[in-house]
Every structure is written in C-alpha cells, then in structure tokens.
C-alpha cells in the first residue's frame, strides 16, 4: 500500500501545539508491526523505515514545504549588476536564469553548491555571477537544510516513542539503550582525554588517581 506522509510532515514542521497528534497520524500511516524484542529494536525499525528511500523523500519534501511556509513562500528574483554582482529585484525585472524559490534553493546538492564558488565551473550556467548567487541564497540554503535535519530527527524521536509504547515498553524503559550508549561513549572519551593529559604532563599523583578510577570502571562500560 502506498504511504503518503508529506503533508503530515509539513504540518509537523510548522506547528507548535499539536506535534503529538500529527506524530500519531504519521505513525498510523506507517503501519509498523508492534513487535520488538527490546526498545532498541523498536527504535531501529522506526529509523530504518523513516530512512527508507520513499519515506525519506517524503519527509524531506514535507520538511522543505514547512520551511517554505515559514519563509512565507519567498521567491528570489535577481538582475545583473556591475562587478559580477546580482541584485534582488521585482519579478518583472528579473532574469529567469537566477530565479530560485525556497525549495529550489534548499535542493541544490552539495557538489553543485560548492561549485557556485567557482565561476568557471561546468556544473552551473551562472558564469561570473555564481558567487553572488551563492551569497544571496546561502541563508535559506544552509538554514533550510538544518531545518530539514531537525524535522527528521524530531519525527524519528516522536514516532519511536509511539512505537515503543505500542510494543509494550514502559516510559521508564524508553531511551535506556541510548543512555547506556552515552555512558559508554563518555568512558571512551574520558580514556582518550586521560591519555592526552598524560602526554601533556599530568602529574604522577593525578595519573595514579585516574588509574584507580579506570580500574574500578565496570567492564560493560569499556566496550
């Protein structure tokens, strides 16, 4: 069955008060089987589903739609000015080649975006005006991509919570695996910094204190 959640994601991205209701609507459409051995497995199913090609595309497009609403359907119109600069102008005075709406600006891929810094690149047709175009579009491109990442992360978080609940895991169990991973990461980071501190001249007494602490660290935290 075809799943369509683009409009739901758009609403998720622009609302501040009904996230739970919209998340529930998205979760219902995904039709995930409420069976998992543990909370981590439930989370993985959600992440894998959201990251699947067709769903990920809908999430991205819905997030872009929501950013377009936030930016009030902004369209960038430009005309050429001296010194290879572009100036924003009215639609009537604009050169179509340079016109970008929010969606088009966000969807410039990273290779083409980088190429705009090179006026001689064959990856674009903007010639000497490519650097100026990039400068004008930079804010909406960079912030739009960040918005899309945030929306996707928040959707995964909300849907994961709903799926864990549907699988029968209690709220106090939510995130347990994440907390464990975080603690393991903290221990690994501590050890890395300890070694750096030793090389930087940490005193022998403090090295001894640290060795005692490391020796007392539970084995499961040293993965």
Least confident of 74-78, 128-132, 219-223: 219-223
* pLDDT score for 17: 55
Burial class (CB in 10 A: 0-12, 13-18, 19+), 191: middle
* pLDDT score for 177: 66
Give which of 12, 59, 46, 16 is closest to 174, Cα–Cα: 46
**63/48 Cα distance (integer angstroms):** 18
Q: Whole-model pTM?
A: 0.74
Q: What are the structure tokens assigned to 97, written together?
A: 């080649």
**Does position 211 have pLDDT exceeding 80, yes or no?**
yes
Instruction: State the chain's mean pLDDT as an integer.
Output: 91
- Using N-to-C axis directions, what is the helix angle for 53-70 and 39-51, rounded to 10°? 70
The pLDDT tens digits for 169-202 are: 876 555 666 777 788 888 888 888 888 888 888 8
**8/6 Cα distance (integer angstroms):** 5
What integer is the mean pLDDT of 82-102? 97
* pLDDT greater at residue 194 or residue 29: 29
* pLDDT score for 3: 86
* pLDDT score for 175: 60
Q: What percent of the chain has pLDDT over 90?
A: 66
* pLDDT score for 215: 83
What integer is the mean pLDDT of 124-136? 97
* pLDDT score for 2: 80
Least confident of 25-34, 94-103, 178-187: 178-187
**Does position 101 have pLDDT exceeding 70, yes or no?**
yes
- 167-176 exposure pattern, b = at least 16 Cβ within 10 A, e = fewer: bebeeeebbe
What integer is the mean pLDDT of 89-95? 97
Least confident of 7-16, 77-86, 175-184, 204-213: 175-184
């Amino acid at each position: 069955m075809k799943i369509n959640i683009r409009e739901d994601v758009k609403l998720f991205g622009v609302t501040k008060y009904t996230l739970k209701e919209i998340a529930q609507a998205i979760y219902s459409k995904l039709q995930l089987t409420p069976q998992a051995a543990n909370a981590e497995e439930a989370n993985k199913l959600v992440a894998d589903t959201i990251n699947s090609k067709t769903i990920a595309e809908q999430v991205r497009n819905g997030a872009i739609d929501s950013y377009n609403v936030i930016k009030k359907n902004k369209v960038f119109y430009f005309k050429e000015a001296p010194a290879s600069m572009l100036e924003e102008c009215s639609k009537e005075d604009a050169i179509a080649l340079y016109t970008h709406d929010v969606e088009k600006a966000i969807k410039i891929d990273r290779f083409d975006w980088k190429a705009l810094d090179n006026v001689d690149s064959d990856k674009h047709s903007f010639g000497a005006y490519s650097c100026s175009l990039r400068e004008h579009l930079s804010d909406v491109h960079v912030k739009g991509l960040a918005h899309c990442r945030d929306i996707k992360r928040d959707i995964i978080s909300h849907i994961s919570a709903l799926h864990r609940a549907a699988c029968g895991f209690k709220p106090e169990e939510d995130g347990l695996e994440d907390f464990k991973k975080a603690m393991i990461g903290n221990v690994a980071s501590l050890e890395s910094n300890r070694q750096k501190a030793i090389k930087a001249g940490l005193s022998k007494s403090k090295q001894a204190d640290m060795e005692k602490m490391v020796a007392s660290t539970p084995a499961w935290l040293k993965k």
